[in-house]
Amino acid sequence: MIKFSQINNIRKFGDIMNNSETNRIEYKQQLTSEFEQEVIAFLNYKEGGIIYIGIDNNGQAVGVDNIDLIQLQVKDRIKNNVQPSTLGLFDVSVEIIDSKEVIKVVISSGTEKPYYLRKKGRTPEGCYIRIGSSKERMTFDMIDEMYAKRVKNSLKEIESPRQDLTFRQLKIYYEENGMKLNDNFAKNLNLLTNEGKYNYNAYLLADENNISIKLVKYLGTNKMELIENHEYGYCCIITATHRILERLVSENTVYAKIEYNGRKEVEMIDSKALKEAVINAIVHSDYTYNTSPIVELYSDRIEITSGGGLPQELSQEEFLEGVTAPRNKELIRVFKDVDLIENIGSGVLRILDAYDKSCFIFMDHFLRVSFKYRENPFEYEKVSAKKTTQETTSKATQETTQENLIKLNETQINIIRLIENNPMITQQEIAQKLNITRDGVKYNMNKLREKKVIKREGSTKNGYWKVLK
C-alpha cells in the first residue's frame, strides 16, 4: 500500500506558489464529495497535478482538522472509488504552510486512461479531464479516443513466460522495510493478468528470470576497445538493481585530500544523480521491446540507456520540468515500497540539481543519460602548493606540500568513517553496515592499505584498524 510521509518543511505559502490555481494545482478547503472527480481529471491529464486540502479558493492556508484521519480517507477514496487501479500513481503527504497543516496529494498522469468513477463507469458522468484550472466532463468521443490510445501491451497484461515463479527475494525486501507480503500479495501488487496468471511484472520481480542489466566498460571515449562486459540479473530486478548500484559505487572515484584539519572530498560523478538515473532507467524501461537498460562506462563519462523513449508521448520540455507519466506503475509502486524510490516524479529533478539538461539524450525509441566525469579539483592546489614552497620556507607551507592526494571511491570513504568510529570493527560488520559483500569489503580495504590510508595494528584476532593522517 502507499506510504504516507510527514514532511517537516515549514514554509510560507507564497514561497511555493502564486496563490492561484493552475492547470496542475487545485485547492480544496476540505475533503469534498467532488474529490475523486479532481483526482480523475489529473489522472487523465497528460501532466498529472497536485491537490492541496486545507487551502481555500483565495489561496489561503486554513489547515485540516484530524489530519491523520483525512489522510487515510484520501487514500481509501482514491483506491476504492477510481478505476482502473491507481496504485503507484499518487503520493499523500503533509506540509506546514503559514503555520497550518495541509495535505498535499501528488497525482501522476495515468498509464491506463481513461480513468473514471467506479459507480459511473467509462461514461461522461464518470470521466473527467483537467482543462485550464478546472475539471471538465469528457465526451464519449474523447473517452473513445483516449481508450484507443491506451497501451494494450502493458506489462500488467503480458503473461509471464513462466508460471512456476517464486518470490523469496521480494518478500525479504518487504520484510526489511517493515511490511509482510501475505498470500494475496500477487493480486495486491498487480502481478496477475485478468485471467489470474502471473504477468510480466511478476516475472521481473521473481527469484529467477531471463532479464539482466548489462554493464560494459571501454578503454577510451568510444566503443572501439571493450575491456569489461557484465550481466547483472537473472534474479529479482530489485536484487539486480542493488548489485549494479554497488558496482557503480566502486567505479565512482571520490577525489579526496587528507589534511591535518580534516578531509575534503569531491565525487567524480554525483552519486545521487547517478542512482536516480539508474533506477529511472530500470523502472521506466519499455520491456515490451525485449531490451533491458544498459550502463556504459567510458574513460570520460558514464551513460545509462533505457528502451522505449519518452513515456506517454510527453514532450521533452514537459519531461525536463518533472512531469510524470510512469510507464510501469506496478514496478514503481514496488520500488517505492522497498525505499529505492523516495518520491514519485522526483528523479529527473534530482538529476537536474547536479547537471544541466544536456545530460539527457532523447531518441525515438531510447532515452539516454550521460554524465561527464569531474576533474580532480585538488590537482590544481597541488601545483599551487609547490609554487608557494619555492617562495617561502614556512612550516605551514611545507606541510601543505606533504598533503596526500589520493583517489577514494564512496565505499572506501565509508569504510574509513566506520573505522574512525570503531577501530575494532570487523570486515563482516562493515559488510553488513554497508550492505555489500565481504569480498567487496576485503577488496576495498586492501586498496586502502596499498594507498597507506589505513593499517592493521596488532594481531588478526585482537588487533585494530588505524586511519593514517
- Secondary structure (3-state) at 176: helix
Using CB atoms within 10 A of its CB, is residue 251 exposed (0-12), middle (13-18) or buried (19+)?
Answer: middle
Give the model's pLDDT for residue 259.
62
DSSP single-letter state for residue 252: S
Give the model's pLDDT for residue 106.
94
pLDDT along the chain (469 residues), means of 10: 41 49 89 94 92 91 92 93 88 91 93 89 92 92 78 74 95 94 94 92 95 93 92 94 92 74 79 94 84 93 91 76 81 93 79 93 91 76 39 39 60 87 88 83 87 85 82
d(CA 149, CA 2): 28
Give the model's pLDDT for residue 431.
87
Q: Does the 378-467 domain belong in CATH 1.10.10.10? A: yes
Domain ranges across the chain: 4-150, 151-251+269-373, 378-467
Give the model's pLDDT for residue 206.
97
d(CA 150, CA 424): 59
Closest CA to 189 of 35, 329, 46, 83: 329
User: Quick one: cell of 234?
Assistant: 537473472
Give the model's pLDDT for residue 378.
66
* Cβ–Cβ under 8 Å, residues 454 and 445: yes
**CATH architecture of the domain formed by 151-251+269-373:** 2-Layer Sandwich (3.30)
pTM for the model: 0.57
75: Cβ contacts below 8 Å, ≥ 6 apart: 1, 2, 4, 92
**CATH architecture of the domain formed by 4-150:** 2-Layer Sandwich (3.30)
Helix-strand-coil split of the chain, %, nearest 5: 35, 25, 40
* Cβ–Cβ under 8 Å, residues 232 and 193: no
Closest CA to 346 of 1, 5, 22, 41: 5
